[in-house]
Structure 1
Amino acid sequence: MKILQYGNEYLDSLLEGNPESLAYLFHTRIVKWNEPLVSEDECTYGLFNDVEESIKPYIAFDLIPAALDILHSCKKPSEIDCALWLLLGLIESTQTTEIPPALKSSIQHINELAKSSGESQINTVKSISEYYRNGL
């Protein structure tokens, strides 16, 4: 899991809820690997699996607005794809179906981003919607 070493210096602060550390980790990793999934040594994992496996649910919930800021700043489809996967990972890590207000107010823009980016991004947004039982 060599890719997950990049940005490790931000992980502890991120896991404490620092939104800037989330942005630094995201940008550090996508410079090295601009895909949401990594395949190496007969193993496939997500670019942010270490975050998803370690973050406390309430901190994941609190970081969703920061993940949305990251997503809204992305221009390239590959960056949007990675940002959507980060967002989905945080959403799943919240272990709640309570919809964060920032997500509810951004969903239309997220749908537009996904539609202009590609099928993978559309599917990720669909997964986000399904997580909330299509309540978005």
Structure 2
Amino acid sequence: MSWLKKLGLGKQETLYDRARKAADPLIVASFREYGRQYGLAPTSKTSDQEILDIYQRVLTAFHQVATERGERLNAGIKNHIALYFFQPHESHPPEFFEQHLEYELDKYRKTGLRESYRKEIYPLELVGIPR
């Protein structure tokens, strides 16, 4: 801990920071439980931090393309898309994940969201948090 934080002079934790601290373990637990129940990734091959990084990266990227297209993707669809990307993360080299994400974003940008992505999932329900 820096001496500024010890004195209470460091960067103050924001409401967003506190919300993320509370939500992150729930996001990880819910996707792990979903994967366990349905025999899908993420498995133990993917660290908790990787789950959060993939979740954030995929949701942010698809949100941006949706905005470009004048569309809105609901949380359930975004969750389903994120779940889809855990599999290539676990079964392919890291560069494939990035290439595949860019390919899927470009496809969405040009032709719309794949029908297979339109399913809604709410993994937080598996850990007791209702929609």
Alignment TM-score, normalising by the size of structure 2: 0.27
Alignment TM-score, normalising by the size of structure 1: 0.26
Higher relative contact order by CA 8 Å / sep ≥ 6: 1 or 2? 2
**Which one has the largest radius of gyration?**
2
